[in-house]
Amino acid sequence: VSGADHDDRRDDLAAYVIGALDAGEAQLLEAHLAGCSECRRYLRALWPAVDSLATSVPQLEPPAELRLRLVTTVREEAQRIAAAEREGAGRVRQRPTGWRRVFARPAVAFAVGAIVCGAAAIGYVVRDGGSTSRSVIPVRPMAAAPAGSVSASLTTIDGQATLRVRRMPPLHGGRVYEVWAERGGKLRAESTFVLRRDGTAMAAVPNLDGATAVLVTEEPRGGSAHPTSPPLAGASLG
Amino acid sequence: MASSRDTRSPERLADEELAALVDAKDSAAFEVFYDRHGGAAYSLAHRIVGDRQLAEDVIQEAFLSIWRSSARYDPTRGSVRSWTLGVVRNRAIDALRRTSGPAPKLDLDDAALLESQAAPERTESEAIRRDAAEWVRGAVGKLPREQSEVIMLAYFGGFSHSEIASMLDAPLGTIKGRMRLGLEKLRETLAEGLPVENGLEGAG
């Protein structure tokens, strides 16, 4: 690397560290950073300067109501997650063996029904303020999933849901996980997701109206219009 | 989970331990986490978006994203505090772009804003943060105007280097070079603990 290239790279790193690169440029630089310890060292050296910008601003006291709102939300969510995990753990142990047979069938043929009668396991429902209906539903591993490889839950709020994955088998070769909503034996693709480096993920399930189950399959890059593999995980919406 | 819960009270944990507990959905740990970083975070958000209500929205989004683990502490990005403020900064810039309200405040002189704060709201911890902030502001103020200008536009205004280049009618490379020189000088000033007159010797 010549001296001039080197300086250019440092210019880029400086722009990157204060968020001044475009998304594409930032991605290229991140790819370079992954393999260049010298640039990583330089970047680390710049962090204190960036931190100082953040802390140089006039210091204000945040309103007490803000803390109250945050803490209330967080306590509620912690309780729901803990309850869903208790429920989920109990269900995994007593998973009906019938599921194994049903979902061992070839892809597409697995389609559902079974998940509904397999368990009527709504985690719990919280009604707050009257009209909003929320629930946290355990997502159970299915026959195609290696033992202990799945930990996830589905949080629904008024017909929309978020799938939270704490653990799923790693993906390879650009493959993705795809989320499906089941209605009357038909599956509709809802979204795709990949895992973060630590194996967790979040995925939106935009439309749950009339759905009786949510399933997750592994699919090729970009997702599929119809499932091409048996589901690894699923949740019954009862 | 409960059986492996650390029995020490969250207040006594290091930032990194606290972040791990927050990630494990420990709501008590989250409260301590917020109490430690919420003030600096709110101040930063307010500086960027220039509006109390919007700053509150930004903080709520940022801390809930941390709680829900859609943002997750990465030790390679520096301390827990700087990572948290990075999350807040990005959320605030997003909010700024969404609202397309008045142009962001870009001047270094925040004295007027400080004066506008009601005195009784200030707490002891805020006083400590304020002293540190004043000191750092002094260090930033020591930078040549052309360097501090591009850094402020990018960090607090959310402008990209190409936007700044056309704003200032200067070549792209020049803008990035000024950012680098400014950050390097700032870093040296901080490392020495005292403002320096010219600090690029021995860099790197």
pLDDT digits (tens, 9 = 90+) for B5-47: 445 678 888 888 889 899 888 999 999 999 999 999 999 999 9
Query: Where is pLDDT greater, at B103 or B165?
Result: B165
Size of interface A-B (CB pairs under 8 A): 193
Out of A21, A60, A66, the one facing B60 most closely (by C-beta) is A66
Residue B52 contacts A, CB cutoff 8 Å: yes
| CB-CB neighbors (< 8 A) of B86 in chain A | 50, 54
Distance separating alpha carbons of residues B166 and B147, to the nearest angstrom: 16
Q: Say whether B84 sits in a helix, a strand or coil.
A: helix
pLDDT of A106 higher than 80: no
Closest C-alpha to A180, from A124, A125, A230, A130: A230
What would the mean pLDDT of B91-116 be, rounded to a whole number? 61
Contact B180 A14 (CB under 8 A): yes
Say if residue A226's pLDDT is above 50: yes
Residue A105 confidence (pLDDT): 38
Q: Return the half-sphere exposure (C-beta side, CA atoms, 13 A cut-off) of residue A21.
A: 17
Tell me the residue length of chain B. Answer: 204
> Is the separation of the CB atoms in A162 and A193 below 8 Å?
no
Of B136, B160, B176, the CB nearest to A22: B160
The model carries a pTM of: 0.60
* B183 near A CB under 8 A: yes
Confidence at B195, pLDDT banded by 50, 70, 90: very low
The alpha carbon of residue B153 is apart from the nearest alpha carbon of chain A, in Å, by 9
Residue A196: predicted pLDDT: 79
Task: Give residue B171's pLDDT.
Answer: 94
> Which of B110, B137, B187 lies nearest to residue A45, judging by beta carbons?
B187
- What are the percentages of helix, strand and coil residues in chain B, rounded to 5? 70, 0, 30
Residue B122 predicted with pLDDT over 50: no
pLDDT of residue A201: 84
Among candidates B53, B73, B125, which has minimal Cα distance to A66? B53
A122, pLDDT greater than 50:
no
Contact map slice: A 2-21 vs B, CB within 8 A:
7-8, 10-15, 17-21
Instruction: Give A-chain residues touching B106 at CB under 8 angstroms.
Output: none
Question: What is the distance between the alpha carbons of residues A14 and A11, in angstroms, rounded to a whole number?
Answer: 5
Mean pLDDT value of segment B40-66: 95
Angstrom distance (rounded) from CA B39 to CA B103: 24
Q: Can you tell me the distance from the alpha carbon of B187 to that of A46, in angstroms, rounded to the nearest whole number?
A: 7
User: Is residue A220 very low, low, confident or very high in pLDDT (cuts 50, 70, 90)?
Assistant: confident
pLDDT of residue A89: 64
pLDDT per position as a tens digit, B136-178: 888 888 899 999 999 999 999 999 999 999 999 999 999 999 9
Q: Which residues of A touch B66 (CB under 8 A)?
A: none
Backbone angles phi, psi at A59, to 5 degrees: -90, 125
Say yes or no for a CB contact (<8 Å) between B70 and A78: no
DSSP state letters, A154-219: EEEETTEEEEEEEE-PPP-TT-EEEEEEEETTEEEEEEEE---TTS-EEEEE---TT--EEEEEEE
With CB atoms and an 8 Å threshold, state whether A55 touches B56: no
Torsion of CA A170, A175, A179, A183, to 10 degrees: -130
Res A49 pLDDT > 50: yes
| pLDDT, mean of residues A1-22 | 84
Determine the Cα–Cα distance for residues A92 and A86; give it in Å rounded to an integer: 10
Half-sphere exposure (CA, 13 Å, Cβ side) for A179? 26
Closest CA to A211 of A102, A81, A142, A115: A115
Q: Tell me the nearest-neighbour CA distance from A107 into chain B, angstroms.
A: 31
| pLDDT confidence tier of residue A210, bands split at 50, 70 and 90 | confident
d(CA A35, CA B70): 26
Confidence bin at A90 (pLDDT 50/70/90)? low
Distance from CA of A215 to the nearest CA of B (A): 21
Which pLDDT band, with edges at 50, 70 and 90, does A219 fall under?
confident
What is the spatial distance between Cα A166 and Cα A164, in angstroms, rounded to a whole number? 6
**Chain B residues with CB-CB distance to A14 below 8 A:** 176, 179-180, 182-184
Of all residues in chain B, the one with the smallest CA distance to A10 is B180
Mutate to test the interface with A, among B135, B183, B188, B200 (most CBs of A within 10 A): B183
Amino acid identity, residue B64? L
pLDDT value of position B45: 97
Pairwise CB contact (< 8 Å): B82 & A70? no
The full length of chain A comes to: 238
Closest CA to A43 of A57, A29, A64, A55: A29
Percent residues over pLDDT 70 in chain B: 76
Bridge partners (DSSP) listed for residue A215: A180, A234
How much of chain B, in percent, has pLDDT values that exceed 90? 49
pLDDT for A3: 59
Q: What is the mean pLDDT of chain A?
A: 77
Q: Does the pLDDT of residue A228 top 80, yes or no?
A: yes
Find the mean pLDDT for residues B116-126. Answer: 47
Query: CA-CA distance, B157 to A13, in Å (whole number)?
Result: 18
Q: Does B73 reach chain A within 8 Å, measured CB to CB?
A: no
Give the helix/strand (H/E) hosting B64: helix B52-67
Sign of CA dihedral B129, B132, B136, B137: positive
Residue A191: is its pLDDT beyond 60?
A: yes
Give B43's contacts in chain A (Cβ within 8 Å).
57-60
